[in-house]
């Protein structure tokens, strides 16, 4: 079984902005707490992702590349609204890849950083632009940002 272990933080500085970035559009076919089913277009690639319920910093995750045209059709016709629009910057820091997501649309103004880990107790060095940890705060889950966009907080 595929397992995702990640921690999520708010971002306080701008030093990450020069890192390579890809535009993402994603929507959800299911946002049930027990499982989410996401469709994503990242650059010119399409993906279908199924995630299980979070337990601490871990959850099951299955991701499959799909034809971009299929992903676009699902985003247009099947996904809950609003769609999630963001630019993801990949920042290498202290041997780990940090994914810094700058949100747009209904979630404009929100910037979060995620880092995937090998184990739940893995020690990490935080970049100076990292703020408060929000790993367990469901408001910051992309699937939650559909029902409760950041601009409405």
Residue ranges of the domains in the chain?
3-152
Query: What is the model's pLDDT at position 56?
Result: 82
d(C-alpha 77, C-alpha 122), whole Å: 41
Residue 92 has pLDDT above 80, yes or no: yes
Overall average pLDDT of the 40-51 stretch: 98
d(C-alpha 134, C-alpha 150), whole Å: 14
Overall average pLDDT of the 125-133 stretch: 98
Decide if 150 contacts 106 (C-beta within 8 A).
Answer: yes
pTM of the model: 0.94
d(C-alpha 66, C-alpha 41), whole Å: 9
Overall average pLDDT of the 7-11 stretch: 98
Residue 51 has pLDDT above 90, yes or no: yes
**Catalytic residue (one of 24, 28, 93, 140):** 28
Query: What is the model's pLDDT at position 1?
Result: 58
Listed residue (12, 5, 4, 7) closest to 127, CA to CA = 12
Overall average pLDDT of the 82-109 stretch: 97
CATH class of 3-152: mainly beta
Q: Is 93 a catalytic residue?
A: no
């Amino acid at each position: 079984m595929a397992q995702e272990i990640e921690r999520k933080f708010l971002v306080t500085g701008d030093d990450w902005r020069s890192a390579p970035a890809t535009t993402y559009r994603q929507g959800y076919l299911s946002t049930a707490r027990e499982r989410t089913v996401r469709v994503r277009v990242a650059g010119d690639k399409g993906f279908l992702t199924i995630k299980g319920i979070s337990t601490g910093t871990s959850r099951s995750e299955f991701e499959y590349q799909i034809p971009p045209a299929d992903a676009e059709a699902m985003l247009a016709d099947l996904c809950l609204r609003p769609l999630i629009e963001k630019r993801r910057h990949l920042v290498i820091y202290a041997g780990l890849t940090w994914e810094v997501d700058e949100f747009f649309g209904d979630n404009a103004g929100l910037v979060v950083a995620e880092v995937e880990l090998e184990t739940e107790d893995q020690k990490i060095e935080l970049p100076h632009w990292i703020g408060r940890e929000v790993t367990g705060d469901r408001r910051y889950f992309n699937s939650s940002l559909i029902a409760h966009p950041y601009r409405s907080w």
